[in-house]
Chain A
Amino acid sequence: MARVSRHAALGTATALLLSSFSLPAFGERLVASLSRHQVMITSSFTGTEIVLFGTVERDAQTITRGSGYDIVVTVFGPRQTLVTRRKGRILGVWANVDSREFVDPPSYLAVLATKRLDAIASPDMLRRQQAGLDYVSLPQRMGTTNIELAPDDPFRMAFIRLKKEQGLYREEPTGVTFLTPTLFRAGIPLPATAPIGSYEVDVKLFADAAVIARTNSAFEIIKVGFEQFVAEAARDYGFFYGLATAMMALLTGWLASVVFRRD
Chain B
Amino acid sequence: MRSAGISTRFLRVWQRNMTVYKKVWKINFLPPILEPLFYLFAFGAGLGALVGSIVYEGNAVSYIGYIAPALIAVNMMYNSFFENTYASFVRMYYQKTFDAMLATPLSLEEIITGEIVWGATKSSIATAIMLIVISFFGIIHLPHALLLLPLAFVGGMAFSSVGMFFTAIMPSIDSFNLPIFLFITPMFLFSGTFFPLENLPLWAQKAAFVFPLTHLVKMCRALGLGHMNAPLLYNLLYLVLFSGVFFPIALYGMKKRLIK
Bind each other: no
- List residues of chain B with CB under 8 Å of any chain A CB: none
